[in-house]
Structure 1
């Protein structure tokens, strides 16, 4: 399945990355590049990762989200996981990562 990462900046320091498809070992580099570009922007205050159209996430995808959470903390940037697909939310819960992220329905 094709993975897409579409990034939108609101001009007020909030960037949203819309991730669709699968976040796995093949697509993590594309995801990382997109969110790192956001994180390195001087005006970045918050990154929102919208997972409403993400239907699969393996351990490398989870690791990318955990790493992003850490890097955001190091840069003083907030991270919000938005609207995770039910399958992805289940994986987050089963792995004990629910409290690691700020998740908004």
Structure 2
């Protein structure tokens, strides 16, 4: 029996970029943690001008998770920030492609992520 990966959302700010790392599943049951951090990261006073959402540890994303990503994009645009997705896995890339959302997001190269915290060693619940 497969045990789902623990879901976590971690935010690391490094100079001019905030990296939001998602791990586990991003679906109806797990999207609230992401939604909780988006206002501060995407439109908070003093937040960096660039936001990268690292999807490399995301195991599953449904339409609810996609909607949260689209909301993040709108918040960033409204506050003059840029948003990029990084390391989408095959399932997430397919979801973005099927829905046409892939044309709305910039995809950041892994080298654009801060080396000291973009991928925490232990996910936080």
Q: Is 1:35 matched up with 2:43?
A: no
Superposition map of 1:62-101 within 5 A: 62-101=66-105
Structure 1 unaligned spans of 5+: none
SS, match of residue 25 in structure 1: coil
The 8 Å contact of residues 8 and 17 in structure 1, kept in 2 or not, is answered as yes
Tell me by how many angstroms 1:55 deviates. 1.2
In the superposition, the TM-score normalised over structure 1's length comes to: 0.91
Aligned mates of 2:108, 2:13 — CA distance in 1? 19
Deviates more, 1:73-82 or 1:95-104: 95-104
Name which one, 1 or 2, has greater alpha-carbon Rg.
2
Tell me by how many angstroms 1:104 deviates. 2.8
SS, match of residue 98 in structure 1: helix
SS, match of residue 16 in structure 1: strand
Partner of 1:26 in structure 2? 29
Deviates more, 1:28-37 or 1:59-68: 28-37
Partner of 1:14 in structure 2? 17
The 8 Å contact of residues 85 and 105 in structure 2, kept in 1 or not, is answered as yes
Of residues 46, 49, 55, the one that matches 2:53 is: 49
The 8 Å contact of residues 76 and 82 in structure 2, kept in 1 or not, is answered as yes
Q: RCO (CA 8 Å, sep 6+): is it higher in 1 or 2?
A: 2
Structure 2 unaligned spans of 5+: 110-125
Aligned residue pairs: how many?
104
